[in-house]
A = this chain, B = another copy of it.
């Protein structure tokens, strides 16, 4: 007697999560060292030591009624100010605590802002390949996802198609850079062109179109690549951030929304997002974690660990003949499957205890995603399996 909507959702539930569970079962069966699980974006780097130090010191020194109590639904004022400052220092922005709403991770933040913005039937544009959960978040509020097809040459967004599909029904556009699943970083030129299309559309339709920048991977960028801060290119930009990857805290569910003063209807949006955070059942972001990230807002991410993995895996897979764009950020490789059917390819990979996720889950069939936020030695152990898998197709 579950709801009709949930029936469909359970049936088509997350392939990634199913693999994560399967990986654990396989590890029990074959031994953890013989299973090569590249399925889930679960950081392999421990949280920086500052995180534990901050937590213990907060627990020992701060008033427990404050540390564990209710606060404004948007979060502690001092934490929001610390987050704003940390952004201003790094990106030459001018945010204050008013612009920050602490959230239950980026997933919580995306739900809050979509609840705030969407009326039933409103369209939200997404660029394939994209994180499949966006479909669910948009559907939670009866919005309609409009998918821009993938550009498999360099995995930058297909702006021609974007310009054609943006319409008077478009309420929001979600971008994710550095990107899951490709690892590609959208260039500044690309962002400027995208902003121009959106400004033109706002003028043409007399509507407000919000750019939602989902950026849990912001700090995971390699080779000194420039990752533009999107609020500086388009006024109606809202940022959804998570500390899941940068501080290796995915289970803790801590992140924030940035809602700049420049937003059209800023006051209404900030007030509504505060209410949405409460009534969706989050109430507020977990309090000890808020206080922790307040203290750690400028602690750098352990990007070098993932960079090392990236170099090894990209180099070796390329040598074996796999095709991919070299990622500049995040901790994913998006490789071309060795047969047309990416799901069949993933099944075949399992024969070698290799767990990878079909591109179909990201609206980009024919490819598969490898999460390389894993132990370096596991990558080394997995290389023969990738080699055998490739050999199957050469036979």
Contact = CB atoms under 8 A, between A and B. Distances in A.
A71 B2 CA distance: 24
A276 B104 contact: no
Contacts of A13: 275
Given A68-B251, A104-B282, A2 B59 contact: no
Nearest to A118: B3
Interface residues of A, number: 86
A21 B72 contact: yes
A5 B249 CA distance: 33
Contacts of A9: 272, 275-276, 279
Contact of A251 (B107, B112, B253, B287): B287
Contact of A250 (B68, B268, B279): B68
A265 interface: yes
A350 interface: no
A251 B69 contact: yes
A57 to B, nearest CB: 11
Interface in A272-310: 272, 275-276, 278-290
Chain copies in the assembled complex: 2
B55 A59 contact: yes
Interface stretch (A28-36, A42-50, A160-168): A42-50
A115 B6 contact: yes
Interface stretch (A133-141, A192-200, A339-347): A133-141
8 contacts: A2-B117, A14-B275, A42-B70, A68-B249, A68-B250, A69-B250, A70-B250, A133-B279
Q: Which are the 8 A-B pairs with shortest beta-carbon distances?
A: A251-B287, A111-B281, A136-B279, A107-B281, A1-B208, A286-B286, A6-B272, A108-B281
